[in-house]
A and B are shown apart, each in its own frame.
Chain A
Amino acid sequence: MMEDKVISVEQLTKRFGSFTAVDSISFSVSRGEIFGFLGANGAGKTTAMRMLCGLSFPTSGKAIVAGFDLYNDPEKIKKNIGYMSQKFSLYEDLTIRENIRFYGGIYGLTDGQIKSKTEFMVQHLHLEDQVDKLVKSLPLGWKQKLSFSVAMVHQPKIVFLDEPTGGVDPVTRREFWTMIYEAAHEGTTVFVTTHYMDEAEYCDRVSIMVDGRIDALDAPSELKKKFNASTMEEVFVQLARKAKRGD
């Protein structure tokens, strides 16, 4: 079932001079899967993610993302994926409505689509009273939830989330994961990084990068069995302690 794979990566490698940031990684991710992409600081996660988003050319290896080849069609990949991170998400000096309009426009939605999307999102997030207020006036938790919705404005096949819950309060963190579950349930593939090890348990499968390689990849329950561990944190610590290169 090749069409079921929305990401397939073979021996993907990225070198910067003599430094191999990503060292021949291979994996695939299915439609509607929540895929946790874990690793210590400096293990190569960000470099790998930048390649998958079409932002950085690999040194070697193959990758098909959302049906498009990384070398030939990086622009088509960008149109078919969504991206959000803790660091960069929305424009603080634009209102909620303006942010949705801006991102909708970038992704080529029509005025009619943007209008209906705005209505749907604002209702879904209970932001009716806030829609014409500046994003900077929103509490962080709301910003992150809105940011996730905006990353999904063009109904991408895959959404990349880079530490989406960093610094967020524990209740909002869980509400955010409910949104992730909903998106996956509707068929969007979720590719997510996190430093919260409890969140690793919420993923369908988890990969753990060590020194540029993927040292483990499986469902959390299988990984715990394999490493004789009771939590994903123990699995992570066992693997990451083996790292030779500093971050």
Chain B
Amino acid sequence: MTYNKQRTATNDSMIAVKVHNIKKTFKTEKSIVTALEDISFEVNRGEVFGLIGPDGAGKTTLFRILTTLMIADAGDAWVDGFEVVNKYKEIRKRVGYMPGRFSLYQDLTVEENLAFFATLFNTTLEENYDLIKTIYQQIEPFKKRRAGALSGGMKQKLALSCALIHRPSVLFLDEPTTGVDAVSRKEFWELLRQLQIHGITIIVSTPYMDEASLCDRVALMQEGRIMQINSPRGITESFKKPLWSVRSGNMYQLMLDILALDAIDTCYPFGQYHHVVFKDETYSLENAKQILSTISSDLEVKQIPATIEDCFMELMRK
């Protein structure tokens, strides 16, 4: 760690989080695992910033460094203008952190957990009630219940309430929607949007690619690297190759047939369609249809815009 660098972020009131060349490795007896390899990015105040990537991408390690629970091997980072190593006490007062694993006190009731975290931060539930009202009202009927006896969705809402109780300026949410069904996921993102109204900066990680579109900007992460940072739209628009969706009656056979064609670059199943890229990027719809007609005359072929997941897979190949 070098401490003699200019700390520009402290002077920039528009930047909530600044990460500069962060590296982190974990050593075991037999191997060295690189969790983060030269990570740099900035998050603006009031932004919802997504870290999108599968398990092992380094998302949790990055969260632990930014919430001052772990020290990087190299590089610098600032949260709310404070440097993460020297000013960790300041940062801990200002950030909310919801880890991926439920980490509240199972033997305390809902209201006892809230009171406990409020006391730690020298505040009360009432003081910032406007902020957590919509979330807390959903768990209020169970306020006398022990946290350990709550359902998964209720635990999540309690954890979010506790992470917000001191009105943090930056909120870190590590995979809040993993293992959560499609409806509850939608509802959780609606809650996040409401928090944004209060000016809180939110950094949220998820392995679900479709959630990227709900963020203002995202970093696509894989194996300790950031492959791309942009707005969701900027990312999908950076997919320059023509992309085709193809459908037939027997989708598994269709995939095998498509992959057997010489002209094919990639073919991936995407729900009810296969997404196909040809080696020749100048193909028109007529070209595409003609080549695919050697498989079957009864195919639905359309040119489509790329999704975040198409872009993620394309970046993984590089």
Chain A contacts to B: CB under 8 angstroms = 39-42, 137, 139-141, 163, 166-172, 174, 177-178, 181, 185, 195-198, 201-202, 220-221, 231-233, 236-237, 240-241, 243, 246-247
Contact = CB atoms under 8 A, between A and B. Distances in A.
B55 A140 contact: yes
A224 to B, nearest CB: 8
B251 interface: yes
A237 B186 contact: yes
Q: Chain B interface secondary structure, helix, strand, loop or mixed?
A: mixed
A233 B211 CA distance: 13
A39 B183 CA distance: 10
Contacts of A169: 53-54, 222, 312, 316
B54 A181 contact: no
Interface in B179-195: 179-186
Interface centre among B31, B54, B56 (most CB of A within 10 A): B54
A178 B274 CA distance: 13
A126 B208 CA distance: 27
A241 B179 contact: no
Contact of A140 (B54, B180, B185, B255): B54
Given A167-B178, A170-B309, A202-B269, A237 B152 contact: no
Contacts of B30: 137
A166 B181 contact: no
B153 A247 contact: yes
5 contacts: A41-B184, A170-B54, A177-B269, A201-B271, A236-B182
Nearest to A173: B54
Interface in B130-164: 151-154
Given A231-B271, A247-B184, A170 B152 contact: no
Contacts of B313: 170-171
Given A42-B151, A163-B179, A237-B183, A220 B272 contact: yes
Contact of A237 (B153, B178, B182, B272): B182
Contacts of A233: 182
Interface in B16-60: 30-31, 53-56
A237 B181 CA distance: 9
Interface centre among A42, A170, A246 (most CB of B within 10 A): A170
A83 B167 CA distance: 45
B209 interface: yes
Contacts of B309: 170
A177 to B, nearest CB: 6
Interface in B52-82: 53-56
Contacts of B105: none
Contacts of A220: 272
B3 interface: no
A240 B183 contact: yes
A76 B151 CA distance: 34
Nearest to A139: B56
Contacts of B186: 237
A180 B184 CA distance: 27
B182 A41 contact: no
B11 to A, nearest CB: 38
A162 B55 CA distance: 17
B270 interface: yes
A97 B180 CA distance: 34
- The list of the 8 closest CB pairs from A to B, nearest first, reads A169-B54, A198-B271, A167-B55, A201-B271, A240-B183, A40-B181, A201-B272, A247-B151
B61 to A, nearest CB: 15
A41 B222 contact: no
Contacts of A231: 271-272
A181 B255 CA distance: 11
Interface centre among B181, B185, B209 (most CB of A within 10 A): B181
B207 interface: yes
B88 interface: no
B204 to A, nearest CB: 15
Given A170-B312, A185-B252, A41 B55 contact: no
B268 interface: yes
Contacts of B178: 166-167
Contacts of B252: 181, 185
Given A140-B55, A170-B313, 11 more contacts: A166-B178, A169-B53, A171-B268, A177-B269, A195-B179, A196-B208, A198-B269, A201-B272, A233-B182, A241-B183, A246-B153
Contacts of A196: 208
A166 B316 contact: no
A112 B116 CA distance: 60
A169 B208 CA distance: 9
Interface in B240-298: 251-252, 255, 268-272
Contacts of A181: 252
Nearest to B183: A240
Interface in B86-127: none
B182 A167 contact: no
A241 B182 CA distance: 10
Nearest to B175: A167
A221 B151 CA distance: 33
B55 A195 contact: no
